[in-house]
Structure 1
Amino acid sequence: MATGESPDTMDDYMRMSERTTRESLYTLSKGVVEIFGDVYLWKPSLHDLQELYAAHEERHGFPRMIGSIDCTPWKWKNCPVAWKGQYASDHHGSPSLVLEVVASQDLWILHAFFGVAGSNNDVNVLDQSSILDDLLNGKTLDALFTVNGNRYKYGYYLTNGIYHQYSTFVKAFHHPVEERDNFFKRRQEGACKDVERAFGVLKAKWHIV
């Protein structure tokens, strides 16, 4: 599940047949959905989005902000020896996965995705992520709002400077000149700490074996 491998690639390494591997994966996935689906494995509804908008505007002053998005390396302690070359890099040293998360101000994780083999930063994880799929496929919920007289159809995420210049991502100024730019930079970076707190909670409780 973590690497996106097909079932028959496990034949030699795990000494399991393709059928056994496929059935085991199905059983595991079904159990995860049945146990955690109603609470954790669901996308925000229109009502949820409206509540997120209100909470983030009240807390951070950003109207119609969905949440903060960022990535963090996660060490893979028991990474199989045969895979270490794919998951180790000069950036992280030891084998690791890169976790992409969208989190709200109350630590609700709206989206989580582990990058595939070879991905080691926010951008190449985003290239594999499903975070923009609904937007690209025209399935994103309409939540109209107006800022400074301009009308917008969808909410947005706060990000750091490495992300692409997409309208979905709102970044801080690299080199603020005016006082209002400095003010925006402070507020944007302060709001982005929501996802950093989510990473801290996750790493304090769990680790990848």
Structure 2
Amino acid sequence: MLDNIDCLHWKWKNCPNAWRGQHLSGDKGDGPTLILEAVADYRLGIWHAYFGAAGSNNDLNVLYSSPHFKDLLDGVALIDFTINDHPYHMGYYLADGIYSRWPTFVKTFNTLQDPKRILYTQRQEADQKDVERAFVVLQARFNIVKTSSRMWYANNIADIMYTCIILYNMIIDDEGPREANFFDEDEAGCSTARSPTRRGVHTTVRERSERRLTIRDTKAHIELQEDLINHIWEKFGHELCFF
């Protein structure tokens, strides 16, 4: 698992009337917004941020327009790991249900009847809240992000957001590392290895197209999810409690 991905809506109070329609969201009844897509780790640090998408988009539309998977398409961000003796070559993010069934995303289930899936969902949801907590802490540290933006220009709003995220990460680094609340990969039977980087290497259109299909392989998503379900059950099945 790499980290957690989610989106945050920032209300835009002084959005021009000509743009207001495209910044209104059906489930956000508090006016026009701009969207922040972010990836946060267990320390609540934000190491990927893409800001500026119109509020009428959902999380999936924002993902399609963001450069988040550019390095993966270029063959830079490849990670080799093994679960249940099955090799994989891309890290995955914990995400909510709106994201597509790609091997780069791991989601929960809507219906829970199998004890294995119940345990898997419990642990996935517990870790997936890291990005939501990061949003709360970011807004708590910087009131300008918590309240509605009064800027007129979207570029100025983006500068404020990115500046706050940079300062936020500097504060986290200054506070020092905290002990991670997860098990040792070696003890769990998972092995990981980052592939050599290929920065500066030219990638052809065909290579990028093939990687794009690999990223969106639904079958690989299902296989990874099943392997994770079985792996978590073998490791933590004895901890499952029914209430």
* Common fold: TM-score over 0.5: yes
Correspondence for 1:184: 120
The whole-number CA distance in structure 2 between the counterparts of 1:117 and 1:98 is: 6
d(CA) in 2 for partners of 1:190, 1:117: 29
Shift of 1:73: 1.5
Q: What is the CA distance between 1:202 and its match in structure 2?
A: 1.8
- CA 98–111 in structure 1, closer or farther in 2 if over 3 Å, else same: same
- Specify whether residues 127 and 86 from structure 1 end up closer, same or farther in structure 2 by C-alpha distance, changes over 3 A only: same
Question: Contact 2:35 / 2:54 at 8 angstroms: preserved in 1?
Answer: no
Instruction: Please give the secondary structure, in 2, of the residue aligned with 1:192.
Output: helix
Distance 2:69 2:46 in 1: 16
2:99 matches 1:130: no
Out of 18, 25, 29, the position equivalent to 1:82 is 18
Runs of at least 4 residues off by over 3 Å: none
**Structure 2 gap segments, 5+ residues each:** 151-243
Question: What is the CA distance between 1:77 and its match in structure 2?
Answer: 2.1
* Consecutive unaligned residues in structure 1, runs of 5 or more: 1-64
Structure 2 counterparts to residues 189-200 of structure 1, below 5 A? 189-200=125-136
Counterpart CA distance in 1 for 2:52 and 2:114 is 38
SS of corresponding position for 2:93:
strand
Judging changes above 3 Å, is the alpha-carbon distance between structure 1 residues 133 and 119 closer, same or farther for their aligned structure 2 residues? farther
TM-score scaled by structure 1? 0.64
* Alignment-mate amino acid for residue 81 of structure 1: N
| 1:65-104 superposed Cα distances (whole Å, 9 cap, x missing partner) | 1100011211112323332222123322301012111000
Secondary structure of the residue that 1:155 maps to in structure 2?
A: coil
After TM superposition, give the deviation of residue 164 of structure 1 in Å: 0.5
Assess if the C-alpha contact under 8 Å between 2:36 and 2:53 holds in 1. no
Secondary structure (helix, strand or coil) at the match of 1:102 reads strand
SS at structure 1 position matched to 2:18: helix
TM-score by length of 2: 0.55
Q: What's the secondary structure of 1:70's corresponding residue?
A: strand
Q: How does 1:106-185 map to 2 (within 5 A)?
A: 106-117=43-54, 119-140=56-77, 142-185=78-121
Q: Which residue among 29, 42, 48 is the counterpart of 1:105? A: 42
Q: For the Cα contact (< 8 Å) 2:6–2:95, is it kept in 1?
A: yes
Q: CA deviation at 1:153?
A: 1.6
Counterpart for residue 192 of structure 2 = none
What CA RMSD, in Å, does the superposition of the two structures yield over aligned residues? 1.6
**Alpha-carbon distance in 2 for matches of 1:172, 1:115:** 28
Q: How far is 1:118 from its partner?
A: 5.8
| Counterparts of 1:79 and 1:201, CA distance in 2 | 25
Matches within 5 A, 1:5-24: none
